[in-house]
Amino acid sequence: MIINWFPGHMAKARRLIEDNLKVIDVVIELVDARIPLSSTNPMIAKLIGQKPSIVVLNKSDLADPECLKEWMAWYKQQGRLVIAMDSKGGKGVKQLTALAQQLAKPKLDHWKARGLKTRSVRTMILGIPNVGKSTLINKLSHRNVAKTADKPGETKGKQWVRIGNQLDLLDTPGVLWPKLEDQVSAYRLAATGAISDTVFDMETVMTQLITELSRWYPQALMTRYKLTELSDDPLVTIDMIGHKRGCIVAGGVVDLEKTYKLILKEFREGKIGPISLDRVAEMTEGAI
- Shortest distance in whole angstroms from residue 170 CB to ligand G4P: 13
Distance CA 14, CA 172 (A): 14
Task: Please give the DSSP secondary-structure letter assigned to residue 116.
Answer: P
Binding site for ligand G4P (CB under 6 A): 58-59, 61-62, 86-88, 127, 129-135, 147-148, 150
- Shortest distance in whole angstroms from residue 139 CB to ligand G4P: 9
Of 68 and 254, the one with the shorter C-beta distance to ligand G4P is 68
Of 130 and 259, the one with the shorter C-beta distance to ligand G4P is 130
Strands 121-127 and 174-175: parallel
- Shortest distance in whole angstroms from residue 1 CB to ligand G4P: 21
Q: Are 273 and 285 in contact (CB under 8 A)?
A: no
Classified as helix, coil or strand, 108 is helix
Question: What single string gives the DSSP state of each residue in 229-259?
Answer: ---SSHHHHHHHHHHHTT-EETTTEE-HHHH
- Shortest distance in whole angstroms from residue 119 CB to ligand G4P: 27
Sign of CA dihedral 125, 128, 134, 140: negative
- Shortest distance in whole angstroms from residue 173 CB to ligand G4P: 6
- Shortest distance in whole angstroms from residue 276 CB to ligand G4P: 14
Q: Are 33 and 58 in contact (CB under 8 A)?
A: yes
Of 120 and 141, the one with the shorter C-beta distance to ligand G4P is 141
Angstrom distances, CA of residue 190 to CA of 109, 127, 222, 254: 44, 16, 23, 23
Q: Where in the chain does DSSP place strands (E)?
A: 26-32, 53-58, 81-84, 121-127, 160-164, 167-170, 174-175, 248-249, 253-254
Of 155 and 211, the one with the shorter C-beta distance to ligand G4P is 155
Residue nearest to ligand G4P (CB): 132
- Shortest distance in whole angstroms from residue 89 CB to ligand G4P: 7
Helices 256-268 and 183-192, axial angle in degrees (round to 10): 80
Of 148 and 207, the one with the shorter C-beta distance to ligand G4P is 148
Of 83 and 240, the one with the shorter C-beta distance to ligand G4P is 83
Contacts of 31 (CB under 8 A, 6+ apart): 37, 39, 40, 55, 56, 57, 58, 127, 128, 131
